[in-house]
């Protein structure tokens, strides 16, 4: 009897696109594109693997509960997830894909260095509440964190916040909104995450994927 395929959780967009070469290195092709097919369960050309398409921030949840055997998620997402759900996820490989950096950005005219030095309260809008809170706590800066779910760049422009903590790659979105990067918090890339029970149960089937991904990702570093 044929075994059920392993399930890999991905988000569409850059993580899906940048995972395709890793899958190719493992000998797996994905005939359908999630942007056009609208399917949430994507078959591959291998009976050994299927892909599920979920929100980037939901990838760790699907893997942690075992609904996916493994998945790929940004360190930004993993860091926020781990605050609420410690343990349960094995993170064997930095895949070096979807690279960007987590930054503080502020409107062009805002004197961030002075605001930070004066010990005044800073209002910070972000999706990355844990990372932002820990960053400013380490600097001894008092902050009010305003949790947003997207379009953080807008917040300082309409008086919701003094600055934002967000991901930046080219800086194009910041520039288009008259914001400048004032501090880098950390470099971000995506990691492979594996459900621990799946690794015990399906280790021999999972391992070739882990090996192929690890091998291919060193070429991307």
Question: Closest approach of Cβ 170 to ligand ATP, in Å?
Answer: 7
Rule CB under 6 A: is residue 98 a binding residue for ligand ATP? yes
75-84 helix and 129-139 helix, angle to the nearest 10 degrees: 90
Structure tokens of 64?
A: 């942690």
Q: Based on the shown chain and the rule CB under 6 A, indicate whether residue 11 belongs to the binding site for ligand ATP.
A: yes
Which one of 150, 158, 200, 221 is in contact with ligand ATP (CB under 6 A)? 150
CB 182 within 8 A of CB 105: yes
Of the candidates 81, 95, 79, which has an alpha carbon nearest to the alpha carbon of residue 26?
95
Nearer to ligand ATP, 97 or 161 (CB): 97
Least distance (Å) between residue 8 CB and ligand ATP: 15
Q: Which is nearer to ligand ATP, 115 or 182 (CB)?
A: 182
Q: Which residue is nearest to ligand ATP (CB)?
A: 74
Residue number with CB closer to ligand ATP (64 or 190): 190
Contact flag: residue 50 with ligand ATP (CB under 6 A) = no
d(CA 161, CA 196): 40
Closest CA to 100 of 5, 194, 189, 6: 189
Instruction: Give the list of residues 6+ apart from residue 128 with CB closer than 8 angstroms, or none.
Output: 76, 79, 80, 102, 165, 166
Pair type for strands 163-168 and 100-107? antiparallel
For residue 142, give the 3-state DSSP assignment.
coil
CA distances from residue 136 to 124, 142, 159 in whole angstroms, order as listed: 10, 7, 20
Stretch that binds ligand ATP, among 12-20, 64-72, 115-123, 202-210 (CB under 6 A): 12-20
Pick one of 190, 191, 194, 213: the residue that binds ligand ATP (CB under 6 A): 190
Interface residue with ligand ATP among 26, 42, 56, 163 (CB under 6 A) is 56
Nearer to ligand ATP (CB atom), residue 74 or residue 156: 74
Pattern 77-96, ligand ATP, x by CB under 6 A: x-------------------
Q: Least distance to ligand ATP from the beta carbon of 166, Å?
A: 9
Residues of span 110-149 touching ligand ATP by CB under 6 A? none
Rg (CA), the chain: 19
């Amino acid at each position: 009897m044929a075994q059920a395929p392993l399930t890999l959780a991905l988000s569409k967009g850059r993580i899906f696109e940048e995972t395709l070469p890793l899958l190719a290195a493992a000998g797996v092709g994905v005939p359908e594109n999630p942007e056009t097919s609208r399917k949430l369960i994507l078959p591959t050309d291998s009976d050994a693997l299927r892909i599920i398409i979920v929100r980037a921030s939901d990838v760790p949840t699907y893997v942690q509960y075992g609904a996916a055997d493994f998945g790929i998620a940004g360190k930004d997402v993993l860091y926020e997830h781990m605050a609420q759900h410690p343990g349960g996820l094995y993170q064997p490989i930095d895949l070096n894909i979807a690279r960007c950096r987590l930054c503080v950005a502020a409107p062009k005219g805002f004197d961030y260095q002075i605001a930070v030095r004066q010990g005044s309260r800073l209002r910070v809008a972000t999706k990355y509440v844990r990372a932002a809170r820990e960053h400013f706590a380490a600097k001894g800066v008092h902050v009010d964190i305003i949790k947003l779910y997207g379009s953080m760049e807008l917040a300082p422009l309409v008086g919701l916040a003094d600055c934002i903590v967000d991901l930046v790659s080219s800086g194009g979105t910041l520039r288009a909104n008259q914001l400048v990067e004032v501090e880098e918090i950390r470099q971000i890339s995506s990691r492979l995450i594996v459900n621990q029970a799946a690794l015990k149960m399906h280790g021999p089937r999972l391992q070739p994927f882990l090996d192929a991904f690890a091998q291919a990702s060193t070429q991307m570093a």
